[in-house]
Amino acid sequence: MHPILNDIRLVAFDLDGTLVDSVPDLAAAVDAALADLGMPPAGEPRVRDWVGNGSLKLMERSLRDVLGRDPDAALLARAHQGFLDHYGRDPSAHTRLYPGVQEALDALRDRGLPLALVTNKPSAFIAPILAAFNLQAHFGLCLGGDSLARKKPDPAPLRHVAAHFDVPPAACLMVGDSRHDIEAGRAAGFRTLAVPYGYNHGEPVRDSAPDGVVESLAELV
Ligand SMILES: O=C(O)COP(=O)(O)O
Ligand SMILES: [Mg+2]
């Protein structure tokens, strides 16, 4: 067992870039939404750097890149709805679990540790993606970017999770791929663990000074 798990009684995981490589499906939906508006595709490499603050921000960044300026509210709303429609058709078609994720989640569950999922992704997509990998039963609570009034890097979702399971924040661990996860975790009083393989706006997540870094979640267990 990884030493960071000593005294930990609850583990909260980020989804995109931590458990699943979802950029192929996210980029396909972004590009389809842009195509509906007669705009050129963004492509996976750029979408990878724009993921992390929820779907509205993702479309705002995509439109800003095409237009060279901020989109107006009506255009952004149309583009965002297009993204939700396209992504919702099959949000896991080309999405894959990262190596080590299955064994880590299985081992933590078998130890009886409560697990939570805290993503900035709209909550409607959580269940279909977890179901595609048979992971729904692993998580006692799942929060999306629209579940509460505030999303990561705000600590509110993590505080909510700790209170839900009645575990003091100091005995909780946040595992994520981006600075939003580490900042939210630190602000909530959680321990923090980062994976370097996900999406962090093109920057090393180590720069956010997490309490630990693992190359694969297999190292956790
Ligand atoms: O949808 C996003 O922007 C990122 O989602 P995540 O919080 O699971 O990384
Ligand atoms: Mg992430």
Distance from C-alpha of 123 to C-alpha of 141, rounded to nearest angstrom: 12
Question: Which residue's CA lies nearest to atom 9 of ligand 1?
Answer: 16
Q: Is the CB of 200 under 6 A from ligand 1?
A: no
**pLDDT score of 151:** 98
Mean pLDDT by 10 residues, the chain (221 residues): 96 98 98 98 97 98 97 98 98 98 97 97 98 98 98 98 98 98 98 98 97 98 94
- Give the per-residue pLDDT at 4: 97
DSSP letter at 169 equals G
Torsion region of 25: left, alpha or beta (phi above 0 gives left; psi -120 to 50 gives alpha): alpha
**217 DSSP assignment:** G
**Whether the model pTM is above 0.90:** yes
Q: What is the pLDDT of residue 98?
A: 98
By annotation, the residues acting in catalysis are: 14
Ligand 1 pocket residue status of 181, Cβ below 6 Å = no
In this prediction, the answer to ipTM > 0.95 reads: yes
CATH 3.40.50.1000 residue spans of the chain? 3-21+95-220
Point out the ligand nearest to the CA of residue 176. Answer: 2
Instruction: Decide: 208 in ligand 1 pocket, CB within 6 A.
Output: no
Q: How far is the C-alpha of 162 from the C-alpha of 150, rounded, in Å? A: 16
pLDDT digits (tens, 9 = 90+) for 77-93: 999 999 999 999 999 99
Nearest atom in ligand 1 to the alpha carbon of residue 14 is: 8
Q: Residue 144: CB within 6 Å of ligand 1?
A: no
Annotated binding site: 14, 16, 177
User: Please, where in the chain does CATH 1.10.150.240 lie?
Assistant: 23-89
Mutate to test the pocket of ligand 1, among 13, 15, 58 (most ligand atoms within 8 A of CB): 15
Structure tokens belonging to residue 65: 């890149």
Compute the distance from residue 41 Cα to the ligand 2 centre, in Å: 22
CATH superfamily placement of domain 3-21+95-220: HAD superfamily/HAD-like (3.40.50.1000)
Tokens of 207: 């720069």
Q: What is the CATH number of domain 23-89?
A: 1.10.150.240
How far is 54 from 162, CA to CA, in rounded Å? 22
Contact 51 CB / ligand 1 (< 6 Å): yes
Binding residues for Mg(2+): 14, 16, 177
**Residue carrying structure tokens 């959680």:** 190
Q: Name the residue at shortest CA distance from atom 4 of ligand 1.
A: 52
> Given this model, what pLDDT does residue 138 score?
98
Nearest atom in ligand 1 to 177's CA: 9
Q: Which residues contact residue 10 at a Cβ distance below 8 angstroms, ignoring those fewer than 6 apart?
A: 113, 114, 115, 116, 161, 162, 165, 167, 171, 172, 173
Ligand nearest to the CA of 51: 1
